[in-house]
């Protein structure tokens, strides 16, 4: 039975997938990923890989994660590999919710040292880790939503409504003084 976590995020599924589509952000939201070494140029196409490192210097494991499925704004499946620790499968699913997006991470080791251990040992650790991964993903995706909304609001302020006519030079000057 895989480890499963769900979190409600105050953003759209598109905001979430905009973050996931930027491979360079991987160590920002994945607990344990210390740095990026490279991102395949065709990321996030299926088969593309992220090349990153786990651990803390000077003990680092070079690993990679391959995209198995990319179906925005619904699902992403990765196959992370971490040397002797083994290979896993990770699925991120997004479902629209009245206040944003319900995001679920499902992860399970399938080979290597972690897969040999009983789930009683690895599952609680993955649940804790992925809880924090979802918190970090929410921080990034909700920040994108706020930036998008601020740009839209700013655009509306700068685009005059034709029904309102053109403001007089004095009204424009008064508006500039009010912004200061």
| 17-76: pLDDT as tens digits | 999 999 999 999 999 999 999 999 999 999 999 999 988 888 888 999 999 999 999 999
DSSP string over 83-124:
GGG-BEEEEEEEEEETTEEEEEEEEEE-SSHHHHS-HHHHHH
Q: What is the pLDDT of residues 141-176, one digit of tens each?
A: 999 888 878 887 877 776 555 556 666 677 777 777
CA separation for the pair 174, 153 (Å, rounded): 20
CATH topology of domain 3-159: Alpha-D-Glucose-1,6-Bisphosphate; Chain A, domain 4 (3.30.530)
Q: Give pTM, 2 decimals.
A: 0.80
List Cβ neighbours of 23 (8 Å cut-off, separation of 6 or more).
36, 39, 40, 43, 44, 48, 50
């Amino acid at each position: 039975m895989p480890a499963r976590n769900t979190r409600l995020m105050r953003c759209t599924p598109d905001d979430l997938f905009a973050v996931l589509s930027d491979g360079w952000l991987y160590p920002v939201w994945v607990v344990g990923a210390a740095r990026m070494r490279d991102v395949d140029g065709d990321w996030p196409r299926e088969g593309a890989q992220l090349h990153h490192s786990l651990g803390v210097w000077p003990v680092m494991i070079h690993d990679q994660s391959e995209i198995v499925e990319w179906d925005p704004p619904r699902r992403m499946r990765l196959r992370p590999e971490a040397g002797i620790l083994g290979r896993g499968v990770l699925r991120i699913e997004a479902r629209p919710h009245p206040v944003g997006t319900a995001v679920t991470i499902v992860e399970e080791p399938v080979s290597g040292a972690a897969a040999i251990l009983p789930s009683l040992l690895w599952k609680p650790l993955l649940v804790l880790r992925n809880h924090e991964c979802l918190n970090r993903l929410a921080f990034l995706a909700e920040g994108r939503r706020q930036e998008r909304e601020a740009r839209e609001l700013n655009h509306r302020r700068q685009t005059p409504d034709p029904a309102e006519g053109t403001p007089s030079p004095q009204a424009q000057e008064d508006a500039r003084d009010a912004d200061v």
